[in-house]
A and B are shown apart, each in its own frame.
Chain A
Amino acid sequence: MISIIIFAVLLLLGFGFFAMNVNKIRTNILMGRDVDRSDNKGERLKVMSLIALGQKKMFKKPIPAILHLCLYVAFVVTQIELLEIIADGLTGEHRVFREALGGFYTFIISFIEVLSVLAFVATFIFLARRNLLKIPRFNMKEMKGWPKIDGNMILVMELILVTFIFMMNGADEVLYSQGLSHAENLGDQSFGFAISQFVGPALFGGMSESSLIIVERIGWWGHILMVFTFLNYLPFSKHFHIILAFPNTYFSNLKPQGQFNNMEAVMKEVKLMMDPDADPYAVPEEGDEDAVVQRFGAKDVEDLTWKNLLDSYTCTECGRCTSSCPANQTGKLLSPRKIMMDTRDRLEEKGEGLRKNGKDYDDGKSLLNDYITEEELWACTSCNACVESCPVNIDPLSIIMDMRRYLVMEESKVPNELAGMISNIENNGAPWQFSPEDRLNWREEK
């Protein structure tokens, strides 16, 4: 009875704390400007199924894709066992699904065990890949410190989790074969699970009943505790991608990647300038939200769209964007992954500040300058390689562009040569100093 109460309290705390942190993140994301992604539901579902569920873009690099697939499928299928653990925990029963499901139960648990072994192996390889092989995308500047610890921590947790599963099933198997398990005895000698029917006797075969029970309970409680730890670690980690990958791909940009948005605030002003009949002093229509004076472009996180902010929490820090970036490949400061990590870190900082000190709080910092420098922004060629390579459809380029817009339109901070190019366009309709009358000279030239 006591254990049921402890379990119920843990369950509530586990999910409650998780829900609270998810809600914080939700509030943070909603700080962003609006962008309409409510159209084309069918197309969006398709994109989500292919990219997140189907891992389509992961398979551009087959080896990590297959390793990751082991973890991914193992995780999803293991949720069935988790449901049983919760049911057992709340009822005080043991393996409640077994009798009802019969042979199917044996199949499911066996499947989970096989996947867990695959996941265990994949996790080891991931750890080796991160720490032994010098893969450049895991060893760049922005990956020093917490991001590196985070990456390893997740993998270690995964190993512990799997170890607990086999302690639980293995010891229970030995107990069951001796007729000592709490599970309902169905008159057979073994659970018949694919891995633990061998691993159990091999590891725990010689143990006494009380030791076996202890091992089994450590496995059971350890497993569920790890699950809660893991769950509550998610919102503080790049590992949150396991949830956000789905909404993030659903809300993908469906337009051609080359298309940049036309800024609405500018459209209004340009229309006024071009239209001789327009009344520049016209009162904005009632309920017109854009009447609130907004900055041109983005200086801080609240100037970005909620999709940019969702992107930042979804980022897996895999670095595929950065390793495909021409600026980064040629030694420039720019790294699209760093743009995403900076956006998330600043958003966390700003959100926390606002929650603590009220909604008018200003910490005097901003994403621009305190996190991202002008030098990074101006190195981008707008080539879309980062967008194309992101396995979860993140768009670092639109953040870069919005920050350039702020620099240019709000602060007139533009590299000299570009200022010249822009004034050429304004004055003679070409980025160079040629006269518009000479545009057709090529027709006569030999």
Chain B
Amino acid sequence: MSDLMKVPTMAEMTANGEVPEILFWVGCSGSFDDRAKKITKAIVKILNKCEVKFAVLGAEESCTGDPAKRAGNEFVFQMQAMQNIEVLNGYEIKKIVTGCPHCFNTMKNEYPELGGNYDVVHHTQLIQSLIEEGRLQVAGGDTFKGKKITFHDPCYLGRGNNVYEAPREMLSKLDAELVEMRNCKAKGLCCGAGGAQMFKEAEKGDKEVNVKRTEEAMEVKPNIIATGCPFCNTMMTDGVKNKDQENNIQVIDVAELIATAADL
């Protein structure tokens, strides 16, 4: 394990009598999905590079309950929430960074009423503040020279919580051209995964939402579609495949882009 891939768990830290600065809430996708695990690792490398003292919950982490809630099962959501809050409060967690806008939204907005009060940020917000504080140097390098990048706003980060600028400011640090889609920020079109759609076939229609969104992205002829959500990443990757554009367009999380630009 290289130094950059050091990942202590809360249990390990507590056993050593240490207290982390921040808890990294990995999320189900970031833990189990092969593509999303790469995003998780990029976030870890950035945290280690900046010497942020963090920990993960590992096996003690469990689904926030977001997909159950959006699928209409409030019982399962609240049971999950209560269990997670018990664990988090048990470790006296104060600050959380999530790798997923759904976890971010749920823990930031829906947990407080159930007894879980934390300062929750999305990974783009944390990384942006690390860059701003000068803790992370992004040289830019040549990797992205001449590349066009467009950012797809995750609904639960953008419209859901009004975070539009952090990911864009991060991208502006890259030596690349940032282009906006016709429908961006508050007008951004969903990737099609939210509201538990990720886990089911779509209703009858004439197109898949992710294909529609990929077409919108293709209008600005990007080399890279930047994402901030593992589910958007899956949906947009599938959309690009559906359009036979794998060789022209890559779908990459902003955290991965920054990690690459910082030579991590």
Interface residues of A in 245-263 (CB under 8 A from B): 255-260, 262-263
Is A178 an interface residue when CB atoms closer than 8 A count as contact?
no
Find the B residue at minimum CB distance from A444. B1
From residue A57, how far is it (CB to closest CB) to chain B in Å? 10
Interface size on A, residues (CB 8 A): 68
Is A382 an interface residue when CB atoms closer than 8 A count as contact?
yes
From residue A402, how far is it (CB to closest CB) to chain B in Å? 9
Given contacts A326-B192, A407-B72, contact A262 B159 (CB under 8 A): no
What are 11 pairs between A and B in contact, CB < 8 Å? Answer: A257-B161, A381-B197, A388-B186, A405-B73, A407-B72, A408-B73, A409-B75, A421-B67, A422-B68, A429-B62, A439-B61
From residue A235, how far is it (CB to closest CB) to chain B in Å? 33
Is A187 an interface residue when CB atoms closer than 8 A count as contact?
no
Comparing B106-114, B123-131, B173-181, B254-262, the segment that makes contact with chain A is B106-114
Interface residues of A in 396-428 (CB under 8 A from B): 401, 404-409, 414-415, 417-418, 420-422, 425-426
Which residues of the partner chain A approach B203 to less than 8 Å between Cβ atoms?
Answer: 327, 332-334, 375, 378-379
Bound-state Cα–Cα, A405 to B70, Å: 9
Instruction: Write the A362-398 contact mask toward B (1 if CB under 8 angstroms, else 0).
Output: 0000000000000100111111110111000000000
> A interface, by DSSP: helix, strand, loop or mixed?
helix
Which residues of the partner chain B approach A417 to less than 8 Å between Cβ atoms?
Answer: 199-201
The number of residue pairs between A and B whose CB atoms lie closer than 8 Å in the complex comes to: 211
Interface residues of B in 13-72 (CB under 8 A from A): 26, 28, 30-32, 37, 40-41, 56, 58-59, 61-63, 65, 67-72
Bound-state Cα–Cα, A379 to B72, Å: 13
Q: Which residues of A contact B (CB under 8 A)?
A: 255-260, 262-263, 266-267, 269-270, 273-274, 296-297, 324, 326-327, 329-334, 375, 378-385, 387-389, 401, 404-409, 414-415, 417-418, 420-422, 425-426, 429-432, 434, 436-445
Bound-state Cα–Cα, A445 to B58, Å: 14
Given contacts A426-B76, A432-B32, contact A383 B114 (CB under 8 A): no
Contacting pair A259 B205 (CB below 8 A)? no
Which residues of the partner chain A approach B213 to less than 8 Å between Cβ atoms?
Answer: 326
Which residues of the partner chain A approach B113 to less than 8 Å between Cβ atoms?
Answer: 262, 267
Contacting pair A331 B205 (CB below 8 A)? yes
Contacting pair B72 A409 (CB below 8 A)? yes
Bound-state Cα–Cα, A324 to B40, Å: 32
Find the A residue at minimum CB distance from B85. A274
Find the A residue at minimum CB distance from B65. A425
Find the B residue at minimum CB distance from A404. B72
Given A437-B59, A443-B5, 4 other A-B residues pairs in contact with their CB atoms under 8 A: A256-B160, A260-B70, A266-B74, A330-B205
Find the B residue at minimum CB distance from A439. B31
Is B141 an interface residue when CB atoms closer than 8 A count as contact?
no
Find the A residue at minimum CB distance from B6. A443
Contacting pair A425 B189 (CB below 8 A)? no
Is B151 an interface residue when CB atoms closer than 8 A count as contact?
no
Bound-state Cα–Cα, A256 to B104, Å: 12
Contacting pair A429 B162 (CB below 8 A)? no
Given contacts A417-B200, A431-B63, contact A383 B159 (CB under 8 A): yes
Find the B residue at minimum CB distance from A403. B72
Contacting pair A263 B65 (CB below 8 A)? no
From residue B128, how far is it (CB to closest CB) to chain A in Å? 19
Is B78 an interface residue when CB atoms closer than 8 A count as contact?
yes
Is B7 an interface residue when CB atoms closer than 8 A count as contact?
yes
Given contacts A418-B71, A425-B63, A429-B80, contact A329 B212 (CB under 8 A): yes
From residue B236, how far is it (CB to closest CB) to chain A in Å? 13
Given contacts A324-B187, A431-B67, contact A381 B78 (CB under 8 A): no
Bound-state Cα–Cα, A421 to B108, Å: 23
Nearest 4 Cβ contacts at the A-B interface: A258-B160, A382-B195, A331-B206, A429-B62
Given contacts A382-B195, A437-B59, A443-B5, contact A269 B75 (CB under 8 A): yes
A258, A379, A429: the one contacting B105 at CB < 8 Å is: A258
Given contacts A330-B212, A388-B159, A408-B71, contact A421 B199 (CB under 8 A): yes
Which residues of the partner chain B approach A431 to less than 8 Å between Cβ atoms?
Answer: 28, 63, 67, 198-199
Contacting pair A258 B156 (CB below 8 A)? yes
From residue A60, how far is it (CB to closest CB) to chain B in Å? 8
Which residues of the partner chain B approach A409 to less than 8 Å between Cβ atoms?
Answer: 72-75
Is B250 an interface residue when CB atoms closer than 8 A count as contact?
no
Find the A residue at minimum CB distance from B36. A442
Is B170 an interface residue when CB atoms closer than 8 A count as contact?
no
Given contacts A425-B80, A429-B62, contact A381 B199 (CB under 8 A): no
Bound-state Cα–Cα, A385 to B185, Å: 11
Contacting pair B189 A262 (CB below 8 A)? no
Which residues of the partner chain B approach A438 to less than 8 Å between Cβ atoms?
Answer: 32
Which residues of the partner chain B approach A420 to less than 8 Å between Cβ atoms?
Answer: 199
Which residues of the partner chain A approach B59 to less than 8 Å between Cβ atoms?
Answer: 436-437, 439-440
Which residues of the partner chain B approach A415 to less than 8 Å between Cβ atoms?
Answer: 200
